[in-house]
Amino acid sequence: MKRQGQYFQDGKIIDYSNGGTEMIVAGEVVPLVSRVGFAAVDIPPGATGGVVVEGAFCDVPAASTVAFVVGDAVYWDATADVLTKTATDNVPAGWVLVPKAQTGITAVIKLLG
């Protein structure tokens, strides 16, 4: 049988090219097409750096207008720079690991992995 693939990397951190005009700061949410990751390092415009795409993250900015319960699917609203439970026009981020009160401003999530 012909080889159909070769190990590349463990996939927890991927290389990401910053095609924008602003610095991506370590710890910043990086919206990808069908999920988000978190910058592992500062990534200047035109440079490539690591983006973590697996794991659990705390202190993620979240909408203060809705409560989250464990297991809720959450999405990244790139316009408001917060997590929300609204899927429309937002990027899937993962699911909630720790309950968040409606007035809470941060969340703990597990990334889609």
Per-residue pLDDT tens digits for 21-62 = 999 999 999 999 999 999 999 999 999 999 999 999 999 999
Task: Sort residue 39 into left (φ over 0), alpha (ψ -120 to 50) or beta.
Answer: beta
113 has a pLDDT exceeding 80: no
| 3-state secondary structure (DSSP) of residue 74 | strand
Kind plus residue range of the DSSP H or E element containing 106: strand 106-111
Q: Nearest to residue 23, comparing CAs of 2, 44, 3?
A: 44
Mean pLDDT of 14-18: 97
Confidence of residue 9 (pLDDT cuts 50, 70, 90): confident
pLDDT tens sequence across 63-98: 999 999 999 999 999 999 999 999 999 999 999 999
pLDDT value of position 93:
98
Q: Please state the pTM of the whole predicted model.
A: 0.91
What single letter denotes the amino acid at residue 83? L
